[in-house]
A and B are shown apart, each in its own frame.
Chain A
Amino acid sequence: MIQEPLRAQPLGVQRCLVGLWQRRGIPLSLLLLTRQPVRLAVALAGISFAGILMFMQLGFRDGLFDASVTIHRLFDADLVLISPRSTSSVSMAGFPKRRLVQAMAAPEVEGITPVHWNLLLWRNPETRGTRSILTLGFEPNDPLFTDPSLAPKARLLTQKGRVLFDEQSRPEFGPVASWFKAGRTVESEIAGKRVRVAGLVGLGTSFGADGNLLTSSETFLELVPNTPPGSIEVGLIRLKPGSDPAAVAKRLQAQLPSDVTVLTKQGFIDFEQNYWRTSTSIGFIFTLGAAMGFVVGCVIVYQVLYSDVSDHLPEYATLMAMGYNLISLLGVVAREGLLLAAFGYLPAYAAGQGLYLLVRSATQLPVFMDTTRAVTVFTMIVVMCMASAGLAMRRLADADPAEIF
């Protein structure tokens, strides 16, 4: 008795689907579109263009926010101490290293790494031009990044005046990586002082830094001699397994003086992204760009559908005279809009993939087609087409079957 409705349900659904299939009529919307290839091509070009524009703008925006924390993600830390005067990776202020040592007192803390952080001028060894590069100074024996391949290379920094160069740095810094790989001794100047490249690391550029350099604290202090003694920019704290970073961060913040801010690693990432999101116009500019794409798409789809309805007005009136109701004719226009959205999205998606690849290779920005953005753009295109179809439908009200005799 209980099983009967359960068994009946799939049959019911099936019958319903078969019924719908049997009840289908002539696919008027599809034929209206496909039998006017030029109009269809114009509409699809417009929608794809709008879609590509949205993909690019949103991709750049997310990519830039993502890229701003390339380095931040690499750190081997559960908690991060920074100065409250720091606003972003491009303007990190110092705080007393003592605070980091004080944090050691907490029972959960397993280890700490003091990090010097500054943008210094690197001289391109080929062209002799200078460019600002993000330089991190740390004790070569302390863990810095989660990537274990750094530790053996870090030992090379124990010698003074040695640096590790990020081979993913922009080419403007010079052909350091290729020279080094070719076995040449690569020497250059940082802040007017001679350094030698002891090895290569792969970190990646970020929005604030076109290139990265790692060195020992000792070398760093020589490069930046006016650093106040005992001052660092970033303090990494590693916690014992099983401890709750958020709770420890809260407690440390309460215990330590107010000249430091205690962040979780995610908080450190958010701090950086938040700067680019709120204190610069990047988010606004790219969101506006995507909105422009949306508006342009709306105008094109509206134009196409409106002139399509206008051209076929006598035919719509004929259908009304035959006994088709207004709702079913509005449905024809709505389905035209939906079909346009679906057909227009596919080329936009494909072109988006291709352009993302191009952007990645040209700018090293981490721009990927993620599902959220793919769905967002599709939703925007559907809204765009349906809104335009809705506006074009008003033209249908002019279809008066009494006028066609």
Chain B
Amino acid sequence: MAAAAAIDVQGLCHWYGTGTMRRQVLQGVNLRVAAGEVVLLTGPSGCGKTTLLTLVGALRQVQEGSVRVLGQDLQGAGRRERQQLRRSIGMIFQGHNLLRCLTAEQNVQMGSDLLPGLSYRARRDQAREWLRAVGLGDQLNKLPHDLSGGQKQRVAIARALAARPRLLLADEPTAALDSKTGREVVELLQRLAREQGCAVLMVTHDPRILDIADRLVRMEDGQLSEAEPMGLVTSG
């Protein structure tokens, strides 16, 4: 049962700073995301959502509590173990964070290049396949500079999925997009993640996209609570 969960967080606490500047951002967070589940995380800014995301994403050292991601315990995990684990976690950022000097296709291939034992051609073909899946089959050789915001975020999704992750973490992927494009991008993200059987944990402020979630979680003052989907929509 435990192995089936993509994310299993128990009693997670996290502090920033040291001495008198020490400030607790997470206060005993418990969160469980099953494999293939799409969970949206909402809450006011500065409440610790992003911190939780970086801890689950193995980008930060766990201080207190238990974090199991894809069956691996991150408590006390070293730099190398976390880096290895990150290969199985796709990440989508507020900004697209594409490599400016690479074309759309090359950016996506940076994701599929992480897959072991595939020839260059196979990885390139996969990159093209993913770009077609996000509807950019005709923009393969464009640099990020020449793509619109929505297109860039689609490339970022394709890149995240190209490494065949079993968990996708997204931090306000629609923040830089207008509402219509944002909706399209998130729907695409949800559909592709479903097809791959990939769990999704997405931080968002955008009330229009809450309905794509299997489950909503709300964070306030470093603590999590399950939220009623409809209640949140009306309050947002």
Chain A interfacial positions (CB closer than 8 Å to B) = 21-26, 28, 31-32, 35-36, 312, 314-315, 318-326, 401-402, 404-405
In the complex, are the beta carbons of A323 and B54 less than 8 A apart? no
Report Cα–Cα, A319/B84, bound state, in Å: 13
Residue of B nearest to A323 (CB): B87
Cβ-neighbour of A322 out of B54, B101, B123, B163 (below 8 A) = B163
In the complex, are the beta carbons of B54 and A402 less than 8 A apart? yes
Given contacts A21-B120, A31-B106, could you give 11 more A-B pairs where the C-beta distance is less than 8 Å?
A26-B110, A320-B83, A321-B57, A321-B59, A322-B114, A323-B114, A325-B83, A326-B83, A402-B60, A405-B54, A405-B94
Cβ-neighbour of B99 out of A21, A315, A326, A402 (below 8 A) = A315
Report Cα–Cα, A209/B198, bound state, in Å: 84
Does B91 count as interface, using CB distance less than 8 angstroms? yes
Q: Which residues of B contact A320 (CB under 8 A)?
A: 83, 86
In the complex, are the beta carbons of A323 and B171 less than 8 A apart? no
Cβ-neighbour of A402 out of B59, B97, B159 (below 8 A) = B59
CB distance from B72 to the nearest CB of A (A): 13
Report Cα–Cα, A324/B93, bound state, in Å: 17
Cβ-neighbour of A405 out of B50, B111, B119 (below 8 A) = B50
In the complex, are the beta carbons of A26 and B163 less than 8 A apart? no
Cβ-neighbour of B110 out of A21, A22, A319, A326 (below 8 A) = A319
Decide: A26 near B54, CB < 8 A? Known: A405-B93, A405-B94. Answer: no
CB distance from B130 to the nearest CB of A (A): 14
Report Cα–Cα, A256/B132, bound state, in Å: 94
In the complex, are the beta carbons of B119 and A32 less than 8 A apart? no
CB distance from B55 to the nearest CB of A (A): 9
In the complex, are the beta carbons of B120 and A315 less than 8 A apart? no
Report Cα–Cα, A314/B109, bound state, in Å: 18
Report Cα–Cα, A315/B123, bound state, in Å: 21
Q: Which residues of B contact A326 (CB under 8 A)?
A: 83
Does B80 count as interface, using CB distance less than 8 angstroms? yes
Does B8 count as interface, using CB distance less than 8 angstroms? no
Q: Which residues of A contact B85 (CB under 8 A)?
A: 323
Report Cα–Cα, A325/B89, bound state, in Å: 14
In the complex, are the beta carbons of A24 and B120 less than 8 A apart? yes
Q: Which residues of A contact B83 (CB under 8 A)?
A: 320, 323-326
Cβ-neighbour of B102 out of A31, A314, A321, A402 (below 8 A) = A31
Does B155 count as interface, using CB distance less than 8 angstroms? no
Cβ-neighbour of B120 out of A22, A28, A314, A321 (below 8 A) = A22
CB distance from A262 to the nearest CB of B (A): 68
In the complex, are the beta carbons of A23 and B54 less than 8 A apart? no
Does B67 count as interface, using CB distance less than 8 angstroms? no
Does B113 count as interface, using CB distance less than 8 angstroms? yes
Does B22 count as interface, using CB distance less than 8 angstroms? no
| Most chain B beta carbons < 10 A, residue from A32, A326, A402 | A402
